[in-house]
Structure 1
Amino acid sequence: MPVSRTALSDDRKVSTAVVEAVAEAEGVTPVEIDTPLHRAIDPDALNRLFGREWTRAGTPRVRFTYSGYEVTVLDAERITVRSADEDERGAPDDSASGQ
């Protein structure tokens, strides 16, 4: 089941919101996630990409896999997290098993 976050506050970093959203999807606290975010993506680069000075120039979109989840960050205000085994509709992806 996908988890979505919206409306990031000015004082909250995108990287922090990503970790919180993945923890929510996993049903754990952020400190209980086994994999540090920097193993999936550079948190500082992610924060800079979605910083105020860059978002005025256009609408960035980043998609990456973290801790078994596909994370999509849209325009610094929306984060969607879903199991990496689900397709776009939220259904299990059978292509990996050859079905």
Structure 2
Amino acid sequence: MDWSRRDPISSAVVDAVVSKTGTDAVSLPPLEEVLDGDALNRLFTRETDTELSFEYAGLAVVVSTIDGVTVS
């Protein structure tokens, strides 16, 4: 999923998981149970190439400044 940088990356993560699972965001566990959403947003506001991998809602999530959000 492409990420426009206009929206917080934490929102893009939730949107990508919703898209992958076909569920709604309210049914997902809070992202903060996995990582600090504010820290994630700060990390991805920098102009450097950054990539972070973690598990969320039983799925592998990769967040990258180059490729956006990938969920598998």
TM-score w.r.t. length of structure 2: 0.90
| Structure exhibiting the larger radius of gyration computed from Cα positions | 1
Query: Does residue 23 of structure 2 align to residue 38 of structure 1?
Result: no
Query: Does residue 62 of structure 2 align to residue 72 of structure 1?
Result: yes
Gaps of 5+ in 1: 83-99
Change (3 A) 1:77 1:47: farther
Structure 1 runs of 4+ aligned residues shifted over 4 Å read none
Alignment root-mean-square deviation, CA: 1.4
Gaps of 5+ in 2: none
Change (3 A) 1:48 1:9: closer
Question: Secondary structure of 1:38's match?
Answer: helix
TM-score w.r.t. length of structure 1: 0.67
